[in-house]
Amino acid sequence: MVPIPTPPGDSTPPENKRTDASPHVHLSTFTHEGRFWDAHLEFVDDPRDPDSCRARLCFVPTDRGDHEEPARTAVIFIEATRQDTLRAARALDRYNLVAMLRSVS
């Protein structure tokens, strides 16, 4: 698997940190326009609101070239905890993920 570049800085409150310290969670792999895509949930810090957990979707083609950057949505999840955020993201089906990918590519 190709590593996903991580945006700089991590000021996530300790209660919202994952135990493995990973800022990404793999949600699904699907096909779109002849390519396989990995969809990840990417946690984003917001120092203005440290009591919330924010995240966006990050899409990485499995055959990614050196010149290609992952496609990311804006922050679309704002929940109280990482568990709530992950639950909301896992509720998205393939149709929703493809629609989100199409909106950012």
Q: Is the pLDDT of residue 99 over 60?
A: yes
Q: Check pLDDT > 90 for residue 5.
A: no
Q: What is the pLDDT of residues 45-93, one digit of tens each?
A: 888 988 899 999 999 999 998 999 999 999 999 999 999 999 999 999 9
pLDDT at 20 exceeding the cut of 80: no
DSSP category for residue 63: T
**pLDDT tens sequence across 27-41:** 999 999 999 999 999
Q: How confident is the model at residue 24 (pLDDT cuts 50, 70, 90)?
A: confident
Domain boundaries, the chain: 19-104
The 3-class SS string of 14-54 reads HHHCCCCCCCEEEEEEEEECCEEEEEEEEEECCCCCCCCEE
